[in-house]
Structure 1
Amino acid sequence: METALTRLVGIRYPIVQTGMGWVAGPRLVSAAANAGALGILASATMTLDQLRAAVREVRSRTDAPFGVNLRADAGDAGDRVSVIIDGGVRVASFALAPSRELIGELKEAGVVVMPSIGARRHAEKVAAWGADAVIVQGAEGGGHTGEVATTVLLPQVVDAVRIPVVAAGGFFDGRGLVAALAYGAAGVAMGTRFLLTSDSTVPDAVKARYLAATVRDVTVTRAVDGLPHRMLRTELVDSLERSGRTRALVRAVRRAAGFRRLSGLGWRQMVRDGLALKHGKELSWSQVLLAANTPMLLKSAMVDGRTDLGVMAAGQVAGVIEDLPSCAELVERMIAEAGEIIGALPGAGASMRG
């Protein structure tokens, strides 16, 4: 299945495994890459040394192209870009729009720049700055998300830019892939669906919690960090929503201090990152502090398996996923299903080129 995305990146299939903090490590990324998809490492929860080691490990596990996701507003973003370039990483993915200078540095080194965006104007901006492709996440997607559904946002962006557009938010099977291609996308990006594979290192008890969820168990809350955050509804989420500001801040300080020790970041750099997060958003300083708390809440569930102490970012598709295939089985199943659907369309030819 060849599309503008597969030609740009050099992958077999137009499927992207997104960079999920504490989830998208070397094992999952290399498995996705070996399956013919684009695997993306999540670096925001790694130190620089951990990122270097993770890049080396992925390269030892696969010869296929892969990417690294990073926060464009992080204080050490320039150092992480250097790791990407030195490590021969094919794709740089950004959770927020990177600066024109970062895009230029990466492109000069031959790295494909593919930011994630949640609005048409953001896609237009990064395209004008030289981005090679964009991942468009609609409201159905997990983690921090917007209010516009993928089916509305995607065609807006496809019409607005002349670079490959990858659709994210609400995709989990071959039907969704065909739908995205019909909208004009060059492929789909999936987080929750790859989290729920046998190659994911997320603890089994946490995966079971996801598999048991219905679509009504996936909610959007601002209680975690002051920003709209799509996740599974749990007793902890209910408790955070009921907590007063003082109690929430005490929790945030404790966990932010834990993240500082774990990540190796100093308080000064965490404050700089908080300032970058606050920029352009109507966040109080208490919400900025809560945002520093988020990585530890995610780690509690995704690494430690404590569903009672952590949060579980989730796309709405968590409510319809029922199995744990390997990455290879998932990708093969999606491509086979997409081929059958395309082949059954009236007037469809044998080619699956997009």
Structure 2
Amino acid sequence: MTVSLRTPLCDLVGVRHPVVQTGMGWVAGPRLVSATANGGGLGILASATMGIEQLTDAIHEVKERTDEPFGVNLRADAEDAEQRVDLLIREGVRVASFALAPNQRLIGKLKDAGIVVIPSVGARRHAEKVAAWGADAVLVQGGEGGGHTGPVATTLLVPQVVDAVDIPVIAAGGFFDGRGLAAALCYGAAGVAMGTRFLMTRDSAVPDEVKQRYLASACTDTLVTSRVDGLPHRMIRTDVSDSAERSGSLRRLPGAIRQAVGFKRMMGLSWRGLVTDGLAMRKAQQLPWHRLLLAANTPMLIKAALVDGDPEAGILPSGQVVGMIDDLPSCAELIDGLVTEAASVLQTNATTQVTDA
């Protein structure tokens, strides 16, 4: 029997289950996104590591693989952000998600076209800001989450945001099973978003040997470091992360510059575009120039591990939840198991007898 948990998130974006697969660079491609969508969740296509032509092709491929709603994650500070927004509008993509808060004008343009806008935030004040600007929902990631992350635990951050805004809140950071989904709903969230858990599925294109590295990791095998790109970044310990922790950032600049130039070529960016993107990132994230160059290097380090299959040559973004994962289900199996278990937990709690002391 199919179990369903209907929340405002489901009604907002048109999915069957309140489960979101996050837009992980190099990981959230057409195969993973369409598998998530066909499983009843909301798949988010990662565009930060795609040129605009690649993104166009990826959107078309997702559409060929599924008729279900899906989203695209955008960088609000990218030089071609406006072009990408126009692309989403032309293609009728259901959801636009943002790693950094988009400006009010971009939000309005997307909403006028009928696209649901869901920025990701890591602080209550940021959620309040994007809600005031018209965002339809907000994805809130706590410190347990992988990749760039903040200092506040999910269990503390989500209730803060739920109390502060009147739009659906999606909880992220530390979720991997139905108990977590049930807990998030009890906190007042409208669903959960997961990155590491979806990376660890059979539908993920990450090489199997890299998935085995994730499977072998414990909750204590991740670290949060600012030494890689100047921003707090949670990842599994590798030779690269250990080297970054030991060495000064200036010593790593020559290699970072070479990698950044390689990323420029791969993305089809002009030198002007690369500089413009850098200036926008520097302004948004308040990075000094040497840290900015390290940040430009990060996508190539992630590619080395998650695409090229050499964990020790790159970095492995991961939430602490990696230590709780011991299998590789399909996306459909994962989502169905989450929802079924969450429904059981909520039903059990609903029938718990409450008595006066």
Fold agreement, TM-score > 0.5: yes
- Residues 218 and 319 of structure 1 are in contact (CA less than 8 Å); yes or no, is this contact kept in structure 2? no
Matched, 1:246 2:241: no
Is the aligned partner of 1:196 residue 2:200?
Answer: yes
Q: Counterparts of 1:75 and 1:313 in 2: how far apart (Å)?
A: 25
User: 1:352 aligns to what?
Assistant: none
User: Which residue of structure 1 aligns with residue 355 of structure 2?
Assistant: none
Conserved 8 A contact 1:192-1:318: yes
Q: Given the alignment of the two structures, is residue 76 of structure 1 paired with residue 49 of structure 2, yes or no?
A: no
Counterpart CA distance in 2 for 1:114 and 1:246 is 36
Aligned pair partner of 1:320 in 309, 324, 344? 324
Asked if 1:165 is matched to 2:207, the reply is no
| 2:291 equivalent in structure 1 | 287
Aligned structure 1 segments of 4 or more residues deviating by more than 6 angstroms: none
1:260 paired to 2:249: no
Give the superposed CA RMSD.
Answer: 1.0
Superposed, which structure 2 residues align to 1:166-181 within 5 Å? 166-181=170-185
Count residues with an aligned counterpart.
348
Question: What one-letter code is carried by the residue in structure 1 that aligns with 2:242?
Answer: D
Contact 1:5 1:186 in 2 (8 A): yes
Q: CA deviation at 1:47?
A: 0.5
Write the distance in 2 (CA, Å) between the matches of 1:61 and 1:78: 26
Secondary structure of 2:167's match? coil
2:113 matched to 1:109? Answer: yes
Which residue of structure 2 aligns with residue 150 of structure 1?
154
Unaligned 5+ residue runs, structure 2? 353-357
The farther-off stretch of 146-155 and 264-273 is 264-273
CA apart distance, 1:281: 3.8
Q: Which amino acid is 1:244 matched to?
A: G
Question: How far did 1:346 drift?
Answer: 3.8
SS across alignment from 1:279: helix
Counterpart amino acid of 1:337? E
1:177-213 deviations in Å (ceiling 9; x for gaps): 0000000000000000000000000001110110000
- TM normalised by structure 1 equals 0.97
Q: What is the deviation of 1:53?
A: 0.4
Within the candidate set 290, 299, 304, 2:303 is matched to 299
Say whether 1:2 aligns with 2:6: yes
Between the aligned partners of 1:293 and 1:331, the Cα distance in structure 2 is: 34
SS in 1 for 2:92: coil
With normalisation by structure 2, the TM-score equals 0.96
Deviation at 1:259, TM superposition (A): 0.3
1:18 corresponds to 2:22: yes
Looking at structure 1, the residues matched to 271 and 231 of structure 2 have their Cα atoms a distance apart, in angstroms, of 22
Task: Name the SS for the 1:308 alignment partner.
Answer: helix
The question of whether the paired residues in 1 share the 8 Å contact of 2:234 and 2:318 is answered with yes
Unmatched runs of 5 consecutive residues or more in structure 1: 349-354
The alpha-carbon deviation at position 234 of structure 1 amounts to 1.0
SS of the aligned residue for 1:322 comes to: coil
Cα deviation 1:230-262 (Å, max 9, x = unaligned):
000112110112123332101110100110111
CA distance in 2, matches of 1:288, 1:121: 25
Cα displacement string for residues 265-314 of structure 1 (whole angstroms, at most 9, x for unaligned residues): 12222222222222154422100010000110011111100112110100
Is the 2:260–2:297 contact (alpha carbons within 8 Å) kept by the matching residues of 1?
yes
CA distance in 2, matches of 1:93, 1:325: 25
Matched, 1:47 2:51: yes
CA distance in 2, matches of 1:266, 1:222: 28
User: 2:215 is matched with which residue?
Assistant: 211
* Alignment partner of 1:343 out of 341, 344, 347: 347
Name which of 60, 70, 87 aligns with 1:66. Answer: 70
Provide the rounded CA distance (Å) in 1 between the counterparts of 2:275 and 2:218: 38
- 1:38 equivalenced with 2:42 (yes/no): yes
Question: Which amino acid is 1:273 matched to?
Answer: D
Distance 2:208 2:218 in 1: 18
Residue aligned with 1:305, SS: coil
Map of 1:223 onto structure 2: 227
The percent of aligned pairs where both chains have the same amino acid is 66
